[in-house]
Structure 1
């Protein structure tokens, strides 16, 4: 999936979290990975913390803990509002975000979580 609309909202239809993002650009060296400028951040501290903890578990090769956290993140059903695409592996920084539009597994890329 190629992102067509360069200004969009990251939304959680189940939790009400959202963030306005702009200048969505593909990261050329990584398939289905994007970076965008963070314009307005109304993502909950709980979600941001889960995303950070997930990344820390991945970095520490703590896959079982990462899976548990990822299940909690999946409850948010994060997606791009106007591009009509689910998103995965969200990383939130001060002025930008990165994310994937495919779910990465050892067996390849999927359109959704395995569960």
Structure 2
């Protein structure tokens, strides 16, 4: 069964220092001022923090799931995924890894994969 924004929200809201904001009718999650997770307006795609040097390999390996962000966002550590192509376990893994990219190592170590 594909995941929904509410499924993602349940994982993201429980992470230390993470909080939800609504910006221009889009749900986003931040740590401090850093956006590490966001949804398109239709809530069908999830953008998330991901290492720039690894994203092309990810997109190439699963083009039906992942795609690059729009050209103006290529400078960021960011990739996007279709929610209907993710299951609960894969979504949880992506969300946790994205969050770990933006929090201090000590904070990241406090959360064990759930």
TM-score by length of structure 2 reads 0.29
Q: Name the structure with the higher helix share.
A: 2
Q: Higher strand proportion, which one?
A: 1
**TM-score, structure 1 as length reference:** 0.29
